[in-house]
Amino acid sequence: MDLYPLWNSLRIAGISTAVIFFLGILSAYYIARLPRTVKGVLDVILTLPLVLPPTVVGFLLLRLLGPRRPVGAFFLEHFGLRLTMTWESAIFATAVVIFPLMYRTCRGAFESFDENLADAGRTLGLSNTYIFWHIRMPSCRPGILAGMVLAFARALGEYGATSMIAGYTPGRTATISTTVYQLWRTNDDGLALRWVLVNMAISFAVLLAVNLLEKRERRR
């Protein structure tokens, strides 16, 4: 059994989770303090990928990043970079799809933070940077961790947008989910089943990790 799809899925999910970890936290932190109307509008836009069918996300991404589309053409011309049909392309797809998960859980965590703690820190003379990293973040840690693990799990299972923007090339862009589809389509049920079991094992482990984390945080 060629394990390339496993490795490819893990790295795509890992990189996109790392990217949205920062993007999600930053946008949640800044949007949480905006006036209510602006917040409402941004909220809808940023949450949209969560409810749109992944094929729609994939379609829109292709319109943007395809070799003859504005952004895609620019990168191809100036940097010789193809933004579609490579394994890295899948990162765009998964990042867009999982961003709302991270953003929303982080925002929930930031909004339930007791601002009096930050105010107390300021009157005690603690710098705003110190307060962010040592008071705000630790208080919001359970929410942020949960968001991250969920985002990772979702990234691992991403199929629709990924198959559109990265396609399926064995040994190059194949991920677990696209491999399962391809094997099933070519009547290789036995191998497909093996990949299904691999995928289920990973998802099981991830969800177990979420539960253990939650339990540990509650004990603290």
Partner 1 sequence: MALSVDVEKRFRGFSLRIAFEAENETLALLGASGCGKSMTLRCIAGVEKPDRGRIVLDGVTLFDSEKHICLPPQQRRVGLMFQHYALFPHMTVEQNVLCGARRALRGGQRDSAVQDALEALGLMELKNRLPGQLSGGQQQRTALARILVSQPSILMLDEPFSALDSHLRFRMEEQTRQVIRQFGKTVLLVSHDRDEVYRMADRVAILKNGQIERIGARGEVFSDPGTRAACVLTGCKNVSAIRRIDDQHAEALDWGITLALPLKPGTDALGIRMHAIRPGEGENAFRCRVTEVIENPFSFTVMLRPLCAPSSAAPIGWEMEKPVWRSLRAEELTVHLPVDGILQLKG
Residues that bind partner 1 (CB under 8 A): 114, 116-117, 119-127, 130, 135, 138-139, 220
**To the nearest whole angstrom, how small is the minimum distance from the Cβ of residue 117 to partner 1?**
5
Looking at beta carbons only, is 19 or 126 nearer to partner 1? 126
**To the nearest whole angstrom, how small is the minimum distance from the Cβ of residue 34 to partner 1?**
18
Looking at beta carbons only, is 69 or 141 nearer to partner 1? 141
For residue 177, the 8-state DSSP code is H
Looking at beta carbons only, is 122 or 172 nearer to partner 1? 122
Looking at beta carbons only, is 25 or 140 nearer to partner 1? 140
Contacts 24+ apart (CB under 8 A), 166-171: 166/84, 166/85, 166/86, 166/87, 166/89, 166/90, 166/93, 167/85, 169/85, 170/2, 170/4, 171/2, 171/4
**To the nearest whole angstrom, how small is the minimum distance from the Cβ of residue 11 to partner 1?**
33
**To the nearest whole angstrom, how small is the minimum distance from the Cβ of residue 216 to partner 1?**
13
Can you state the angle between helices 4-31 and 137-157, rounded to 10 degrees?
A: 140
